[in-house]
């Protein structure tokens, strides 16, 4: 029996492109794959993003996702399969190139860019959201860079963004792949705002009514829907003495030193909370790819001193080496974790840190390595965007420790060059951030951890 073709429903587009008044919204629409990015999605997104950025009518660009994810990453399972086939390997490498180019373009837009992370946001989803001046978390947000668990390294600009977080938080998250949820994503600095998921439709409606490309106005529009931490949510767990331990352990420049410090903490620290955290962190690192751990630490230390486009080029070099089989861990990790979904730990090669020699690392980082094609890291970026200076990525987030330190030390432009008391520092940040939700709690936590008071009650940064 024949079927009337007109009765067959058209396939849903992988990316929905919507215009609502002056707002332009891309909706990642691959819910069965948690909106994981593939080449087709990238090819749909980039020309439309560039068109919207040039438009005199569009005022704000917004990114959202269908279902329970914003974007769970790139389609690395397909990439791993392609990388094993010498004929298809260039396709895998080109995917990373296209992805990283889009990530940079999003960071250099001329218009306010808002991403609503109402669900799983990992890997490639971080690449789409991290460049946004406005990153909105909800109680549904699940955020991570879990690449060391699949024998790869954090990319999509992670070496740039993560290295600019407070202390060693970025190093810890890149190496362990630890997942943050809900309001913790906001308090860690990855989100600039936190709103309940039920308010997302109202947010989109309000953003559509913003007729001018005005960053301050967009900031206020989102902030009006923000809410404080609720008692049932509990406190952010990476604070206080655990946070001091984290910054201490992950300050080292070799993974072996990090592990050694954690082992001492797990056995001898006077705090039960720190001992438990250190023990759990050691257990996590033990099942991660040793090669990936060393490369992830290398990348984040390099990224601290790179601009975004150079950080992306470095990450593309690492991705190229993985695709060119510089390590078997990439295929082994993806096969074990994503394809067969084995409950057994992945068998890494080498399976310990000592086995990851300088020669192995050189396969990825040496410009003359046969696994690296340096000519392939030249990105195709519109000239006007490539030359544009990029703003600090945490401009609209909670105050970072460096800014709080400047206020305490008297070097902040709003401190008047004077020593300040706790109440004065809190009042200054409340005023500077226009009573933003969460500022008081963030500043108080940093002051309690990093400062003492002299005999007159003035703060001293330690």
Confidence at 231, pLDDT banded by 50, 70, 90: confident
Active-site residue flag, 269:
no
Is residue 155 annotated as a catalytic residue, yes or no? yes
147 is catalytic: yes
List all residues 6 or more positions away from 273 whose beta carbon is below 8 Å from its beta carbon.
Answer: 240, 241, 242
In whole angstroms, what is the distance from residue 159 CA to residue 164 CA?
Answer: 9
Strand 113-117 with 134-137, pairing: parallel
Q: Quick check: is 124 catalytic? A: yes
In the prediction, which pLDDT does 227 show? 87
Beta-strand relationship, 193-194 and 134-137: parallel
Convert the pLDDT of each residue in 58-95 to its tens digit. Answer: 999 999 999 999 999 998 888 988 999 889 999 999 99
Q: Which of 101, 103, 118, 155 is catalytic?
A: 155
**250: part of which helix (H) or strand (E)?**
none
Annotated catalytic residue, options 124, 167, 170, 182: 124
The reply to whether omega before 350 is within 30° of 0 (cis) is yes
The strand ranges marked E within 168-314 are: 180-181, 193-194
Q: For residues 406 and 429, is the Cβ–Cβ distance under 8 A? A: no
* 9-64 residue pLDDT tens: 567 899 999 999 999 999 999 999 999 999 999 999 999 999 999 999 999 999 99
User: What does the pLDDT average to over 140-167?
Assistant: 97
pLDDT at 369: 95
pLDDT at 5 over 50: no
Confidence of residue 243 (pLDDT cuts 50, 70, 90): very high
Residue pLDDT, tens place only, 400-443: 999 999 999 999 988 888 889 999 999 999 999 999 999 999 99
* Average pLDDT score over the chain: 94
Which entry of 147, 187, 247, 315 is annotated as an active-site residue?
Answer: 147
Please give the helix or strand (H or E) that residue 70 lies within, else none. strand 69-71
> If you average pLDDT over residues 196-208, what whole number do you get?
97
Marked catalytic residue, from 65, 74, 123, 182: 74
């Amino acid at each position: 029996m024949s079927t009337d073709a007109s009765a067959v429903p058209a396939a849903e587009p992988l990316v929905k492109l919507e215009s609502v008044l002056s707002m332009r919204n891309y909706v990642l629409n691959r819910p069965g794959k948690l909106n994981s990015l593939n080449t087709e999605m990238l090819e749909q997104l980039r020309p439309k993003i560039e068109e919207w950025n040039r438009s005199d009518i569009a005022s704000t660009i917004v990114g959202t996702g269908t279902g329970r994810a914003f974007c769970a990453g790139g389609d690395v399972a397909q990439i791993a399969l392609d990388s094993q086939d010498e004929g298809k390997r260039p396709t895998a490498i080109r995917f990373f190139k296209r992805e990283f180019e889009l990530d940079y373009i999003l960071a250099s837009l001329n218009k306010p860019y808002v991403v609503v992370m109402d669900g799983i946001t990992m890997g490639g989803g971080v690449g789409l959201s991290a460049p946004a001046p406005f990153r909105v978390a909800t109680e549904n947000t699940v955020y991570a860079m879990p690449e060391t668990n699949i024998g790869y390294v954090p990319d999509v600009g992670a070496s740039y963004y993560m290295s600019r977080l407070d202390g060693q938080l970025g190093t810890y998250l890149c190496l362990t792949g630890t997942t943050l949820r809900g309001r913790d994503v906001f308090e860690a600095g990855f989100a600039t705002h936190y709103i309940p998921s039920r308010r997302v439709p109202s947010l989109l409606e309000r953003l559509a009514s913003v007729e001018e490309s005005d960053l301050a106005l967009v900031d206020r529009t989102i902030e009006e829907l923000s809410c404080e931490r609720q008692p049932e949510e509990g406190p952010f767990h990476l604070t206080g003495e655990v946070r001091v331990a984290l910054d201490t352990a992950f300050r080292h420049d070799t993974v072996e030193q990090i592990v050694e410090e954690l082992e001492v903490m797990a056995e001898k620290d006077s705090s039960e909370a720190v001992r438990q955290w250190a023990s759990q962190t050691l257990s996590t690192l033990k099942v991660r790819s040793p090669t990936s751990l060393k490369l992830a630490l290398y990348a984040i230390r390099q990224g601290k001193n790179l601009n975004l486009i150079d950080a992306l080029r470095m990450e593309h070099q690492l991705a190229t080496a993985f695709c060119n089989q510089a390590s078997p861990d990439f295929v082994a990790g993806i096969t074990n974790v994503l394809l067969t979904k084995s409950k057994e730990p992945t068998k890494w090669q080498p399976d310990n840190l000592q086995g990851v020699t300088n020669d192995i690392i050189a396969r990825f980082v040496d410009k003359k390595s046969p696994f690296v094609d340096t000519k392939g890291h030249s990105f195709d970026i519109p000239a006007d965007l490539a030359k544009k200076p990029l703003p600090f990525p945490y401009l609209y987030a909670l105050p970072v420790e460096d800014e709080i330190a400047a206020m305490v030390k008297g070097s902040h432009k709003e401190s008047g060059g004077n020593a300040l008391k706790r109440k004065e520092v809190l009042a200054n940040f409340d005023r500077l951030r226009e009573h933003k939700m969460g500022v008081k709690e963030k500043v108080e936590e940093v002051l309690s951890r990093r400062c003492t008071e002299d005999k007159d009650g003035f703060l001293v940064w330690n």
